[in-house]
Structure 1
Amino acid sequence: MQAKWREPALDGKSIEELRQADLDRLWNPLLFIDNILSESKEATWLTATVNHKGEAYMMERRRVRGVFMENLELDDFPLDVQDLTVTITTERPDTEIDIIPDENEMSGINVQTFVDQQEWKLHEHIEVSRKVMTQEYSSSNRCHPALSVTCRAARRPGYFYWNVFLVMFFISALSFATFAVSPELPQNRLQLSFTLLLTSVTFKFVINQSLPKISYLTYMDKYVLLSLVILCVVCIWHAVVTLFVNYGSLFLARLERHVFVAFVVIYILCHAVFIFWLYFDACKRRRLMKHKDHEYLEFLRKKQEWLEKSKDYTSNSRRQSTMLLHSTHAI
């Protein structure tokens, strides 16, 4: 974390005088990280610099390692994208200080050092937002400026595709194999259907043990419940079919064929709707994050080109000035 502010008390001083000055006795913004839970290591450096106009600037650099608080949003699980935010605020009120992002040195993130790359994909863009916070448990209701720096991490859903969705698809699809048993043997049909239903319920409990206990349904919960509903409907039909046994085997065979085709069509339509739902709703934020990554990298590329052109222009101006001085000296 790097903070920079003007210090008029040091204006016009030389570099040697800045090194000997007691910087700790000067004004300090008293910055701290608001959403940190446990801080394990911190190192702070305080320096002073003077620009070509003689204006002095204080610069505080701080390296913090700790655990930060973030509220997870699991509505789109396992296709969720989580915000990872560091909120920087100050003990001083907003009437005395204002925190703004540095336009010359932008915030960044090192994607290569991300340790959870097997489970998460860290996006490259950074978003900075300003807000005002009210300090809790304080006698004065003073407002304090804050700066939130946010990056995004998208979960890699491959594990859940192969180990949850595909397994539940196989279990629910096997329910149609119970139609191979004669409708005159409903006890055998119900035994097979109940076995598949209990297997799905047990599998759901196993899944829930590795997920946080939340009060709303995720996309994976919705798919598991949809599979359970399909199994329950098949079980109900195997119980209802006993009412049509006395209508004759020909009528029963025709009815079974129509019901089987209807179940298969409904099953395929439910999965098609669910896949489209995942793509257009759950994956919408993931596509937005990729678009922001592209815009962020394009902005960095243009800024780098502008800096290189500025350096070239400065060097050419210096070269022309030097040539002019040499020619004047020759005259």
Structure 2
Amino acid sequence: MHSTKQSTSFSESINRKVNDVIKPPITSSRRATTIGNIARGSSAVNNLSCNIRSVTTSAMMTSSASHPRFQIQRSPNEINTNISNGLPSVKPPREVTIRVKFIRLGEVITLQEKFFAEIVIEARWLYDRTAASWNPNLYVKNAIGDIKQEITSELVDTLDEPIYLDDSTHDVIYVWEIRKVVGTFWEKLELNSFPVDVQQLSLQIVTKCPTDECILVENRFQPSMVNREAFLAQQEWFLYEHIETRSTITTEDFSFRPIRQSTYLVTCYVARRPGYFYWNVYLLIFLITVIALTVYGVAPELPQSRLQITCTLLLTSIMFRWSVSRLLPPVSYLTLLDKYTLISLVFISLNSIWHSIIGYLIRTMNVSKSIDNYVLALFTIFFFLYHIIMAISLCQALHHRHLMLENDRKYASKLAGMFETFAQGHHAVQRFKDRQNSSSASLFL
């Protein structure tokens, strides 16, 4: 009997272990329980939200139905109006009119590409009582070093008469700012047609405000002007009367966020007086090149004498070219004067090479001396041919000055139309014609 009970208990223990193995693990049962609880919780939440939504909808419908304007249907235009009224209003940028006066122009330094000027910048904008201290903060971008500035401002009306804030009779009030600037300014010079070049002297007036706040425009009622009587470099340059203006937008990248700024460009024009270079450069190089042709008067049996003369002329031309190149900045292109001097150097060098060749041929091969005459004729034709080409190029460069004088005439007529009386305008045009006739000779010669 004892053995039977032991076997029964042993079999029961084995059955319990088997059942424990067949049962799912504790983690699975816990996960199933958790998922069931979440499902029951989410269904309860959904039922609760549906109940709340239904109650809220019914309450809104009840309150709207009880409202007296419930039956009024809203039009799409009314909806768009309400939407637009909700957006913030954007103010347009302020327009600042600019007028520039070149009071005095000083020396134009070609080698350093800069010029000295004394200018007056007149800025005008509408006065806003809500932003009385607003200012465009103008400055000249191409100024070099420290410049002197004097700034004054006042409130004026449409007739430029000064007014006061307590005067309520004026509906339109302007802020008139006068900025006097004295200093040196940088300008990139175009020297392709040197020494008959026409240069532009520009001022880049920039505001520190972004374009969505301020833009610079031209003053159409009072155009910019230049004082030709106070031009200090009249012996070297000819100053034109017309002024060109242009408004553009530049980007200031030297900040964390690039700012687009309004820029106002004012340009006056000067033409170099080429008379000095005609007599001291072109004429001397022409004489040196002509002397290279006279070397053929020496017998070809004496190449040492010919080479001595031509090498002396070649060294003289090289030294002369270096002295002229010191007047210009080291540009990467050739000017008209550079082309003429280089062709002259090549011409003298080719003559030197031929003198050494003809001496060798006569001494070793007994070549006839008549071939030297044919070569002389060939070099003479080449000499006159390249001089004609250079003269045509010079005339084409001078033609640009005729166009600039025509722009001066149009600008004088424009200014004459702004005078109050016909007599004042006629006098201004006649004064311009007299000055133009007296300065034509010095402009082209």
TM score, norm. by length of structure 1: 0.83
Q: What residue in structure 1 maps to residue 373 of structure 2?
A: 257
* SS of aligned partner of 1:255: helix
Q: What residue in structure 2 maps to residue 278 of structure 1?
A: 394
Query: Contact 1:126–1:150 (CA<8 Å) still a contact in 2?
Result: yes
Counterparts of 1:68 and 1:57, CA distance in 2: 30
1:258 is aligned with what amino acid?
Answer: Y
Counterparts of 1:176 and 1:7, CA distance in 2: 76
Task: Give 1:197 shift.
Answer: 0.8
Query: Contact 1:39–1:65 (CA<8 Å) still a contact in 2?
Result: no
Task: Give 1:202 shift.
Answer: 1.5
User: Which residue of 281, 304, 319 maps to 1:187?
Assistant: 304
Task: Give 1:208 shift.
Answer: 2.3
Q: What residue in structure 2 maps to residue 287 of structure 1?
A: 402
What CA deviation, in whole Å up to 9, does each residue of 1:133-160 have, x standing for no partner? 1113111122111111000111111111
Q: What residue in structure 1 maps to residue 276 of structure 2?
A: 159
Counterparts of 2:155 and 2:141, CA distance in 1: 26
Q: What residue in structure 2 maps to residue 90 of structure 1?
A: 207
Task: Give 1:112 shift.
Answer: 0.7
Counterparts of 1:121 and 1:136, CA distance in 2: 38
User: Which residue of 340, 345, 353 maps to 1:223?
Assistant: 340
- Quote the sequence identity (%): 35
Q: After alignment, is 166-175 or 294-303 more displaced?
A: 294-303
Query: Contact 1:39–1:64 (CA<8 Å) still a contact in 2?
Result: no
What CA deviation, in whole Å up to 9, does each residue of 1:23-77 have, x standing for no partner? 9x52212211111123442111111023486311110011110111111111111
Q: What residue in structure 2 maps to residue 129 of structure 1?
A: 246
Task: Give 1:127 shift.
Answer: 0.2
Query: Contact 1:8–1:55 (CA<8 Å) still a contact in 2?
Result: no
Task: Give 1:288 shift.
Answer: 2.5
Query: Contact 2:253–2:259 (CA<8 Å) still a contact in 1?
Result: no
2:321 is aligned with what amino acid?
Answer: K
2:136 equivalent to 1:6 = no
2:217 equivalent to 1:103 = no
Query: Contact 2:298–2:305 (CA<8 Å) still a contact in 1?
Result: yes
Q: What residue in structure 2 maps to residue 302 of structure 1?
A: 417
2:150 equivalent to 1:35 = no
Counterparts of 2:147 and 2:205, CA distance in 1: 17
| Ranges in structure 1 where 5+ consecutive residues have no aligned partner | 11-22, 312-331
TM score, norm. by length of structure 2: 0.62
Counterparts of 2:358 and 2:204, CA distance in 1: 63
2:155 is aligned with what amino acid?
Answer: A
1:3 is aligned with what amino acid?
Answer: A
Query: Contact 2:314–2:345 (CA<8 Å) still a contact in 1?
Result: yes
| Ranges in structure 2 where 5+ consecutive residues have no aligned partner | 1-120, 159-168, 425-445
Task: Give 1:289 shift.
Answer: 1.7
2:135 is aligned with what amino acid?
Answer: N
Counterparts of 1:229 and 1:287, CA distance in 2: 33
Q: What residue in structure 2 maps to residue 116 of structure 1?
A: 233
The structure with more radius of gyration: 2
What CA deviation, in whole Å up to 9, does each residue of 1:258-277 have, x standing for no partner? 22122112101110111101
Counterparts of 1:29 and 1:195, CA distance in 2: 64
Counterparts of 1:180 and 1:48, CA distance in 2: 83
What CA deviation, in whole Å up to 9, does each residue of 1:273-323 have, x standing for no partner? 11101212x32432332221122112222333xx326x9xxxxxxxxxxxx
